[in-house]
A and B are shown apart, each in its own frame.
Chain A
Amino acid sequence: MSKTPGGIAIEIQGAAKRFGGSKGRVAVEDVGLKVTVGSVHGLLGPNGAGKTTTLKMLLGLVGPDAGEFRILGEPNGPTARAYVGFLPEQPYFPPLLTALELLTLHGRLSGMASGDVAVRARELLDRVGLAGREAERLAKYSRGMLQRVGIAQALVASPEVVVLDEPASGLDPVGQRDVRNLMMELKDAGTTVLLSSHQLSEVEAVCDEVTILNRGRVSAKGAIDDLLNVAGRTSVRARGEARSLPAEIQALMEDVAVSGSVWVFSVPDSTVRTVVDLLDDSGWAIESVLPKRQSLEEYFSRMLERTESEVVS
């Protein structure tokens, strides 16, 4: 294992957890996951898919029935957790503490010196838009402010690995944009991010790779481009005054969308040269020619419709 780019930051193998004894409900079964150092990895799945249980096992909150969990090469335990910052879904904090006291607690638990924590805490509170509110008790914070202070506590010890469970939950659009920018900043700084989220647009925008869980098992995993690009088809975007495309193209095209004078459609890869020439000869302006890509939402919906027999490990 390596902490350098390309190494493995998080590795889960054969994770399994059943709640309620041997005849209880299977929450997670044979889940595997690898997150590359410096990447942003999305963990997706519908409610009850096993995302939170997987994260809890990784972070030592729940004891697994089986499986191996490693963070930067260290088996899960206090040493491994020293590398991690964690934002739980719907973070709650002791309401009678102030934001500064909360960050001081978390910094000191991570081994930071008191003086360093104070400086870092003020810097982070400023970064998440809570400058000037550090002495207020958390009981007075709104849901969005608690989410922001939660992000600050996750980052207080400058972790090499950040695990975020629904980080944009409870935030307004501006806050959601800030969280997205923050994740990109973390990535640029070489920090590894494991992101569990229901917001597929957010995942699609920031993640390099995703793992999709369904019914406690891994349903799909891989680079997001590999999952979303539609093999063998190319998307063409063209602008023209004609009311229809040349007949030869109409015979080839699928997924047609028209908006004013702009047409977007897909054609087989092998016909792209011919289609481009036909458009050009007919006076159409070609705006883009790109590999056809479905949205993560489309992919996710189709994947969930598959039968359990198609689930891969």
Chain B
Amino acid sequence: MNRLIALAAAVFSDALRRRVLWVVALFALVLAAAIPSLPSYGEGVDDAVYREISLSLVYVAAMVVALVLAATRIPAELERRTAYTVLVRPVRRWEYVTGTWLGIAATMAVACAMFGAIVFATGWVVYGAPMPVLWQAVAAIWMEACVVAALCVAASTMLSAATVAVLALGFLFVAHVRADLLGGPGNPLWRFYPSLDTFNIIAPVAHGSGVSASYLLVMALVFAAWVGLLMLAAGAAFSRRDV
């Protein structure tokens, strides 16, 4: 466990110092502040629309950061040989990939908290009341970003950063079109489809009162299952690789 924490702490420290995180945060801040002034926001602006657009913005920002951090991390460490001195320590390959993912997940937590704080504060200032339900969606976005990061980490043990990024974007697309492709739960393939729809709670958060605690628990279980499966695959693939 100490080795996982040490690896995660190093990845976290390194990732927080990358410009991409802060550039995306600044971009999100500017856009979030601009949403209420869009032409469609006249008198009697609907705060639900604000929540929907701002959460979509958080989603895109989180996915960009997750892709940049996770798709490039291991390929860059192997190419620059910075992984050598780590892997010759008493570190198992699965610990290396899991520690890397944990560090990225922690960075994503900071990033999502930052993005969430921006849209929360902007909404409070503009509409005069806090919107705590936003945090449910921010948590869901963080989980989905972490699943995408796990996919990137797993794939990057075998593929180049560019290939991983394309693969992850393709996965994100496929993972959100289950209903369009299969119709509904009546389709026998429905349960086996690699969907991330569980994490898409922007609509109930924006236009309703959010989701129940039991749904949040299901979401956490789905998150754990995805990450566990991908980390197992990553550890198995990386343990066979010559570096």
Interface of A toward B, CB cutoff 8 Å: 56, 59-63, 78-79, 81-82, 84, 86-88, 90-94, 96-97, 101, 104-106, 108-111, 137, 150, 153-154
Given the interface pairs A61-B243, A78-B91, A109-B91, the reply to whether A101 lies near B85 with Cβ below 8 Å is: no
Q: Is the CB of A96 within 8 A of B18?
A: yes
Interface size band for B: 20 to 34
Binding site for A on B (CB under 8 A): 2-3, 5-7, 9-10, 13-14, 17-18, 77, 80-82, 84-92, 240, 242-243
Q: Is the CB of B85 within 8 A of A81?
A: no
Residue of A nearest to B6 (CB): A108
A96:B6 contact, CB within 8 angstroms:
no
* Minimal Cβ-Cβ distance residue in B for A90: B81
Tell me the minimal C-beta distance from A21 to chain B in angstroms: 13
- Among B6, B17, B87, the residue within 8 A (CB) of A61 is B87
Q: Which 4 A-B pairs have the closest CB atoms?
A: A108-B6, A109-B89, A78-B90, A82-B90
Residues A63 and B90 in contact, CB atoms below 8 Å apart: no
Cα A56 to Cα B92 in complex, Å, equals 15
Closest to B81 in A: A92
Rounded to whole Å, the gap between the CB of B47 and the closest CB of chain A is 40
Residues on B with C-beta less than 8 A from A101 are: 10, 13
Contact indicator B80/A92 (Cβ below 8 Å): yes
Contact B84 A105 (CB under 8 A): no
Contacts of B6 in A (CB 8 A): 104-105, 108-109
- Please, which residues of chain A bring their CB within 8 A of the CB of B13? 96-97, 101
> Is A96 a contact partner of B17 (Cβ separation < 8 A)?
yes
List the B side residues contacting A111 at CB < 8 Å. 2, 90
User: Taking A63-B240, A97-B13, A109-B7 as contacts, is the C-beta distance between A92 and B82 under 8 angstroms?
Assistant: yes
Given contacts A78-B91, A82-B90, A137-B17, 9 further A-B contacts (CB under 8 A): A56-B243, A60-B87, A93-B82, A96-B14, A104-B6, A105-B86, A106-B85, A109-B6, A150-B85
What are 9 sample pairs from A and B whose C-beta atoms fall under 8 A apart? A61-B242, A84-B88, A92-B80, A94-B77, A97-B13, A101-B13, A109-B91, A111-B2, A137-B17
- Docked CA distance A96–B81 (Å): 15
B90 contacts which chain A residues (CB < 8 A)? 78-79, 81-82, 109-111
A198, B77: Cα distance in complex, Å: 26
Given contacts A79-B90, A109-B7, A109-B91, contact A93 B85 (CB under 8 A): yes
Q: Is the CB of B82 within 8 A of A94?
A: yes
Contact indicator B89/A62 (Cβ below 8 Å): no
**How many angstroms between the C-alpha atoms of A19 and B242 in the bound complex?**
10
- CB atoms of B10 and A153 under 8 A apart: no
* Residue of A63, A81, A94 most packed against chain B (CB within 10 A): A94
Which A residues are CB-close (under 8 A) to B18?
96
| Most A-side CB within 10 Å, residue of B77, B82, B86 | B82
Question: Which of A56, A91, A94 sits near B10, CB closer than 8 Å?
Answer: A94
Contact A97 B10 (CB under 8 A): yes
Min Cβ gap A107→B in Å is 9
Contacts A108-B2, A109-B3 given; does A86 touch B88 at CB 8 Å: yes
CA distance A137 to B91 in the complex (A): 24
The answer to whether B14 and A88 have CB atoms under 8 Å apart is: no
